[in-house]
């Protein structure tokens, strides 16, 4: 198996499962950090409240986006159409953005440095996932996804990325 194929197996596998593993790791490091008094960055209660708000907003945003994209939790090679309406008319990967917001919220809510580092790694993970997924979608839908990328310039955050 080539390195590129192995990366595709990881980055293009079911995003639901990867997201759940991330949540378990984040919550686990947060709990361990609190129990074992690991280094904290918390500005209590502000960071805890902000974290809780981000978690709720991330979940609400995720739920709202999923309503318009019924294949959101499919592996990339199983997607049979490109969604270009709703939030997808503004950014190409709103679900990944919602996962990042939730992960940052979990890290802030616990206020443990290790959880924050894990959350930062998840930002890199979902950024790389969006890049690999776009390559796969261009192979599956060269004309349609090519036009979509030209029309919708931003992956996750308009004006930034």
Hey, where are the domains in the chain? 19-71+79-151
Assigned fold of 19-71+79-151: 1.20.120
pLDDT digits (tens, 9 = 90+) for 107-128: 999 999 999 999 999 999 999 9
Flag whether the pTM goes above 0.85. Answer: yes
pLDDT digits (tens, 9 = 90+) for 39-76: 988 677 899 999 999 999 999 999 999 887 766 666 66
What six digits make up the tokens of 91? Answer: 């950014």
């Amino acid at each position: 198996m080539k390195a590129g194929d192995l990366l595709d197996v990881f980055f293009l596998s079911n995003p639901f499962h990867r997201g759940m593993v991330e949540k378990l790791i984040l919550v686990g490091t947060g709990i361990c950090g609190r129990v074992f008094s690991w280094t904290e960055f918390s500005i209590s209660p502000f960071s805890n409240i902000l974290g809780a708000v981000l978690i709720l907003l991330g979940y609400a945003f995720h739920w709202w986006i999923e309503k318009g994209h019924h294949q959101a939790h499919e592996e990339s090679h199983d997607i049979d159409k490109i969604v270009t309406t709703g939030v997808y008319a503004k950014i190409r990967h709103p679900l990944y953005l919602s996962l990042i917001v939730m992960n940052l919220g979990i890290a802030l809510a616990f206020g443990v440095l290790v959880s924050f580092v894990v959350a930062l790694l998840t930002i890199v993970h979902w950024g790389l996932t969006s890049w690999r997924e776009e390559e796969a979608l261009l192979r599956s839908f060269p004309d349609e996804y090519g036009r979509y990328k030209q029309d919708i310039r931003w992956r996750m955050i308009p004006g930034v990325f």
